[in-house]
Amino acid sequence: MRTFIAVDLGGTNIRAAIVDEEGKILDVKKDVTEAHLGKEHVMEKMENLIASLKDYENALGIGLGIPGPTDTVNGKIIISNNLPDLVGYPIADRIREHFKKPTFMANDVKVAGLAEALLGEGRGKKNLYYLTISTGVAGAMILDGKVLSGFHGHGGEIGNMTIDPNREALGGLNRGAAESWVSGPALVREADKACEKEFKHAGEVFEAAKSDARAKAVVERFKDDLAVLLAGVCFVCDPERILIQGGVMKSSSDFLSDVEKRLHGLLFPGMREVTLASATIEEPGLVGAAMLAKSQL
């Protein structure tokens, strides 16, 4: 049985695991990141976690899932609010040299998308797009079982993609950026203003839309915005399926089928076979990091 080492590095916790080629997690270890103590401290924690895994010596390679924009070619973090001391540091090279194993690195959304492509709802599909809609909006393109990262490692990222240039710029993003209007917090923000009350989360907005015309208008615009965003994705990479993950998907029954219909209306007739589906992998960070190593070897 072939196995791979997976590392899920976050601003709060680091997890390392041994994962087989079918995505089964055989052993997992976890520790707090303590990023404030510096890059050497974090790297040593990562190395110690990997070395504590059962039979880690027999793993064929190592996959690293890192939050935020990542230089997949050189194995470095490009931008990070949670791990600022590791920006520009050759993480993949150090792990590769320490363990003498092929080591690959990509951001957490890309590895999660790879897990879904190879083992989840995308299994058997050649061309996929993976989207996460939660506190932010991010995505990944997967073609023939490999993540497409582009020249700088930003390929597939759509959070700052403009869906309406006539809207204001928020949070340092472009005017009418997807993350400013399609994320969970964006939906809550717009519903709060429209309904003159405070919603706790996006699920409450979808529920209110069933009886409140003001909330319904906010949800309908969300559906239109998401359809426009996904149409842009489709015109670039023409996926067979778009897999969506994130907190907003808890209410997928309230919007996903409508978004798919609106999406089809924006596409050429020959492109309308694309389907939308919920992501299903339970541990996409760890499984995806392992699949990153598998796909590259």
Question: What is the per-residue pLDDT for 144?
Answer: 86
Q: Of 139, 82, 73, which is closest to residue 103 (Cα–Cα)?
A: 73
**How does 16-52 read in b/e, with b if 16+ C-beta sit within 10 Å?**
bbbbebebebeebbeeebebeeebeebbebbbebbee
Q: Which residue has the higher pLDDT, 79 or 24?
A: 24
The whole-angstrom separation of Cα 118 and Cα 234 is 20
Burial of 232 by CB count in 10 Å (0-12 exposed, 13-18 middle, 19+ buried)? middle
pLDDT digits (tens, 9 = 90+) for 222-255: 999 999 999 999 999 999 999 999 999 999 999 9
Task: Convert the pLDDT of each residue in 45-92 to its tens digit.
Answer: 999 999 999 999 999 999 999 988 888 888 898 888 789 999 999 999
Could you give the angle at the alpha carbon of 66 between the alpha carbons of 63 and 67, nearest 5°? 155
Q: What's the pLDDT at 73?
A: 81
pLDDT for position 152: 74
**Whole-prediction pTM value?**
0.88
- The CATH architecture assigned to 3-113+283-296 reads 2-Layer Sandwich (3.30)
137-193 pLDDT, tens digit per residue, is 999 999 888 888 888 777 888 999 999 999 999 988 999 999 999 999 999 999 999
CATH number for the segment(s) 124-278 = 3.30.420.40
Rg (CA), the chain: 20
Does residue 64 contact residue 104 with C-beta atoms inside 8 Å?
Answer: yes
- Fold identical between 3-113+283-296 and 124-278? yes
Q: What is the pLDDT of residue 153?
A: 74
Q: What angle do CA 44, 49, 54 make, to 5 degrees?
A: 145
What percentage of the chain carries pLDDT values higher than 70? 100
Per-domain boundaries in the chain: 3-113+283-296, 124-278
pLDDT for the residue numbered 31: 97
pLDDT score of 202 more than 90: yes
